């Protein structure tokens, strides 16, 4: 008999088990059974409502409507077989380049399953040389596998094939190049035929309360359901298991976090923070005061704060963070502010020093009693400046240390680190944040405050799942102006790009300034974008070609160096154009930003070094070249650089993608709202939750197979209540071994350890 915890290499052939582990990280029988079908197909099932993306590995089932053999245009003696598959009125085409070999196996009116990589031509997608499985209706014939694999083991018999054909709903699994949907189907059926009854870890009362099917039935029915209702009941049960596994981990983590020591930093009425409040030249908004109180309460506790501060671009997150850091300095500890770029770190250092005034002059003659020092540490500093900064950090003279990734290096030691502030947390990996937090003294854990204007999908998932305390600033300070956003589809309307340059010239003539943002610097960059130009897309001499490469095989993206030269000698020759990018020396970058801030530069051509924190109130217009190459969060951050003064802002998103491209729809969605939280939900819809208990933040991988934090909030909340109750009564789950096993099987030790760092 087969058991739920058995390794697959003891149940299946070694090569098959290795393929499942390498492609999908499936190691045990339980892993395989929880790898559920993405959908089910019956006779004549359609393709679904959404088209796949270029490069996706997909599986489709339907009847062969047309099957034609043609000679290959470029190779004599080679034939090409073009097959049109009818999936309940929807059609997908497949092309086989060894047509004469496949022609005998694939015939019109046969029911077949194709599995391959999606390729787009214009707005239509197809499969090139897919693997295939012929699902004959005649049960006297074996299933013809032809180009498909012969199953995970040789000798798949007629009984197995007939059983597959007899299924009322054929499961279709997410597949990979090395192992197809029908391979996974065979493995699953083989395992289930010999599987012992699976013990249910959930108490009967919980199953009854939540309307959950028994686990053994759910694991069988999710792969081979007797009806649609049977499949949905099984998936509902397994969704709850996923939610419960996550919530058990988080409940355990919250309990252990409460036991870890952290510096208690209660507010002082006569300290640095109070002195700063006295000289603050403006009034905090109601939202800022409320959030400041929440953070201040957390800092007063002897266990680590783990709080997300999210707020719209320009909502005043930095001033709230500064007041929190001063509270920690008052308690005798140091604070580290981690910024993603040198431009932002330098600006933070300049603005915080200016805001503190004399309160940032500790060690100087005439400094106030409670003054501190604010130190900047970046990778491009001179040796002497870096040595002086490191000495101030390790000696404790610096109360606030501002820097880039340079703060994470082993050579940086803090005297007594009490708080870490991460600005624009979506720009840092979990490991990077943890390396900085590990610099606290002894076993103490510093308080952590992460800030963002557009939470990444992983952050939203963790917040919804209950792992982060969250503070939100929705109110904008007085004086902020609205920002309008327009999308310019350059391929369809090349003349519109010229109008963008004219609009910038008009704004400059009115005494205002503008940004032009490019996705790359240019010259000899190591990683050019992969998209290639076609001759037919070029319009020689048009405004659309400003800054674009002339080589047919070069990427069509606009480089900052090229755009800078093209604009100042062409459409914007009458204005002062500056250039800013990450390769410039630190002193030159600082000089350019200072000149732009002082109005000595009218138009700044730049890369994403201006994405966050840059504040030039006179800048009203931004043109983003190749906007499709930027993420939703980046675009929202970038356009937040304009409209920061008394004049309305305008952001123009230029793209060269096809009008039918999903990227254009994404840009239109960004243009349709300036609500950062709405955009974060859009990002989550597109990229999913990411690896909730792991390092991935891109959303391309997810260990939530059935659960969605957007669509199944009721299940998550029910599972959270259940997990909190169980962990409160049985912290180590000693009396609930089944739940402990479910948690371990769903979330391995590596992911749990990683969550502690997140």
Domain 272-300+316-452 in the same topology as domain 40-193? no
Residue 719 has pLDDT above 90, yes or no: yes
User: Residue 48: left (phi > 0), alpha (psi -120 to 50), or beta?
Assistant: left
pLDDT at 689: 64
Residue 699 has pLDDT above 80, yes or no: no
**Rounded Cα distance, 612 and 676, in Å:** 14
* Three-point CA angle 404, 407, 411, nearest 5°: 140
Residue 480 has pLDDT above 80, yes or no: no
Distances (CA, A) of 264 to 270, 294, 296, 337, 721: 17, 15, 10, 19, 29
pLDDT tier at 154 (50, 70, 90 boundaries)?
very low
Average pLDDT over residues 588-610: 92
pLDDT at 555: 44
For 614-653, b/e burial (b = at least 16 CB within 10 A) is: bebbbbbbbbbbbbbbbbbbbbbbbbbbbbbbebebbbbb
pLDDT tier at 468 (50, 70, 90 boundaries)?
confident
Q: Are 746 and 702 in contact (CB under 8 A)?
A: no
Tell me which of 262 and 159 has the higher pLDDT. Answer: 262
**Rounded Cα distance, 226 and 62, in Å:** 21
Residue 298 has pLDDT above 70, yes or no: yes
User: Residue 506: left (phi > 0), alpha (psi -120 to 50), or beta?
Assistant: alpha
pLDDT at 430: 57
Range scoring the smallest mean pLDDT among 217-231, 338-352, 548-562, 596-610: 548-562
**What is the domain class of 272-300+316-452 according to CATH?**
alpha beta
Residue 267 has pLDDT above 70, yes or no: yes
**Rounded Cα distance, 641 and 405, in Å:** 23
Range scoring the smallest mean pLDDT among 247-261, 423-437, 466-480: 423-437
Range scoring the smallest mean pLDDT among 262-271, 318-327, 469-478: 469-478
pLDDT at 99: 79
Task: Please name every residue paired with 311 in a beta bridge, in sequence order, or none if there are none.
Answer: 473
pLDDT at 477: 63
Cβ neighbours of residue 524 under 8 Å, at least 6 residues apart? Answer: none
DSSP state string for 582-636: TTS-HHHHHHHHHHHHTTS-SEEEE-GGGSSS---TTEEEEEETTGGGS-HHHHH
pLDDT at 376: 96
What topology does CATH give the domain 483-673? Rossmann fold (3.40.50)
Range scoring the smallest mean pLDDT among 15-29, 386-400, 418-432, 547-561: 547-561
Give the residue extent of every domain in the chain: 40-193, 272-300+316-452, 483-673
Tell me which of 181 and 314 has the higher pLDDT. Answer: 181
pLDDT tier at 613 (50, 70, 90 boundaries)?
low
Tell me the per-residue pLDDT of 423-449, one tens digit each, with 9 for 90 and over.
875 555 556 666 777 788 888 889 999
Rg (CA), the chain: 30
| 296: nearest Cα among 278, 273, 271, 272 | 273
pLDDT at 62: 84
Residue 466 has pLDDT above 90, yes or no: no
Distances (CA, A) of 609 to 317, 386, 406, 527, 645: 20, 22, 16, 18, 21
Cβ neighbours of residue 599 under 8 Å, at least 6 residues apart? Answer: 513, 618
Q: Which CATH number is associated with domain 40-193? A: 2.40.50.140
Tell me the per-residue pLDDT of 356-388, one tens digit each, with 9 for 90 and over.
999 999 988 888 988 999 999 998 889 999 999
Q: Which residue has the tokens 């003064």?
A: 645
pLDDT at 704: 67
For the chain, the average pLDDT equals 82
pLDDT at 47: 59
Range scoring the smallest mean pLDDT among 151-160, 275-284, 581-590: 151-160
pLDDT tier at 147 (50, 70, 90 boundaries)?
very low
pTM: 0.69
Q: Which of 426-440, 528-542, 609-623 has the highest mean pLDDT?
A: 609-623
Average pLDDT over residues 16-29: 91
pLDDT at 606: 95
pLDDT at 202: 95
């Amino acid at each position: 008999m087969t058991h739920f915890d058995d390794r697959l290499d003891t149940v299946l052939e070694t090569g098959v088990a290795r393929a499942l582990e390498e492609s999908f990280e499936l190691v045990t029988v339980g892993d395989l059974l929880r790898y559920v079908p993405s959908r089910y197909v019956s006779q004549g099932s359609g393709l679904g409502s959404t088209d796949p993306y270029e490069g996706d590995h997909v599986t489709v089932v339907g009847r062969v409507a047309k099957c034609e053999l043609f000679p290959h245009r470029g190779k004599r003696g080679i034939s090409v077989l073009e097959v049109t598959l009818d999936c309940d009125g929807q059609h997908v085409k497949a092309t086989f380049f060894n047509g004469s070999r496949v022609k005998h196996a694939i015939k019109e009116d046969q029911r077949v399953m194709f599995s391959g990589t999606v390729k787009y031509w214009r707005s239509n997608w197809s499969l090139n040389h897919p693997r295939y499985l012929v699902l004959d209706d005649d049960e006297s014939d074996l299933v013809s596998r032809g180009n498909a694999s012969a199953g995970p083991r040789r000798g798949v018999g007629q009984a197995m094939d007939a059983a597959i054909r007899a299924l009322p709903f054929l499961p279709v699994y997410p597949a990979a190049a090395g192992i197809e949907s029908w391979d996974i189907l065979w493995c699953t059926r083989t395992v289930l035929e010999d599987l012992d009854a699976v013990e249910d870890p959930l108490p009967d009362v919980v199953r009854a309360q939540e309307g959950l099917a028994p686990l053994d039935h759910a694991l069988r029915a999710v792969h081979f359901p007797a009806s649609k209702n049977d499949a949905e009941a099984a998936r509902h049960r397994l969704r709850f298991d996923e939610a419960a596994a996550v919530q058990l981990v988080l409940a355990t983590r919250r309990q252990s976090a409460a036991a870890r020591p952290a510096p208690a930093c209660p507010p002082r009425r006569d300290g640095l923070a109070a002195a700063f409040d006295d000289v603050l030249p403006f009034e905090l908004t109601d939202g800022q005061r409320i959030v400041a109180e929440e953070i201040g309460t957390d800092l007063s506790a002897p266990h680590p704060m783990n709080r997300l501060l999210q707020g719209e671009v320009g909502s005043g997150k930095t001033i709230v963070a500064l007041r929190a850091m001063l509270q920690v300095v008052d308690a005798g500890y140091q604070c580290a502010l981690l910024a993603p770029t040198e431009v932002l770190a330098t600006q933070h250092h300049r603005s915080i020093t200016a805001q503190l005034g004399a309160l940032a002059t500790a060690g100087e003659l005439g400094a106030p009693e409670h003054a501190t020092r604010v130190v900047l540490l970046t990778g491009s500093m001179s040796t002497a400046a870096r040595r002086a900064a490191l000495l101030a950090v390790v000696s404790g003279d610096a109360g606030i240390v501002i820097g880039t990734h340079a703060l994470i290096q082993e050579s940086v030691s803090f005297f007594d680190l009490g708080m870490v502030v991460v600005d624009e947390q979506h720009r840092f990996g979990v490991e990077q944040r943890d390396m900085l937090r590990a610099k606290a003294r002894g076993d103490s854990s510093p308080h952590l405050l992460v800030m963002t204007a557009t939470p990444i999908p992983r952050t939203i998932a963790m917040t919804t799942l209950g792992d982060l305390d969250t503070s939100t600033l929705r109110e904008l300070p007085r004086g902020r102006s609205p920002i309008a956003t327009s999308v310019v589809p350059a391929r369809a309307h090349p003349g519109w790009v010229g109008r963008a340059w004219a609009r910038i010239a008009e704004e400059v003539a009115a005494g205002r300034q503008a940004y032009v943002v490019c996705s790359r610097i240019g010259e000899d960059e190591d990683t050019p974008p992969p998209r290639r130009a076609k001759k037919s897309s070029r319009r020689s001499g048009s405004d659309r070609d400003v800054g674009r490469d002339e080589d047919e095989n070069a990427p069509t993206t606009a480089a900052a160096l090229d755009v800078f030269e093209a604009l100042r000698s062409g459409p914007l020759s009458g204005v002062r154009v500056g250039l800013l990018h990450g390769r410039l020396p630190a002193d030159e970058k600082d000089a350019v930003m200072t000149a732009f801030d002082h109005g000595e530069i009218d138009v700044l051509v730049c890369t994403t070094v201006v994405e966050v924190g840059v504040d030039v109130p006179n800048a009203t217009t931004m043109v983003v070249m190749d906007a499709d190459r930027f993420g939703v969060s980046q675009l929202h951050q970038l356009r937040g650089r304009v409209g920061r003064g008394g004049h309305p802002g305008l952001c123009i998103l230029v793209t060269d993608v096809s009008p039918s491209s999903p990227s254009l729809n994404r840009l239109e969605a960004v243009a349709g709202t300036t609500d950062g939280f709405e955009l974060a939900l859009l990002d989550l819809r597109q990229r999913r939750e990411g690896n909730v208990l792991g390092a991935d933040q891109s959303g391309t991988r997810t260990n939530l197979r059935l659960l969605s934090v957007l669509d199944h909030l009721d299940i998550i909340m029910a599972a959270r209540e259940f997990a909190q109750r169980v962990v409160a009564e049985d912290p180590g789950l000693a009396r609930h071994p089944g739940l402990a096993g479910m948690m371990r099987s769903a979330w391995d030790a590596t992911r749990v350890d990683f969550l502690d760092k997140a």
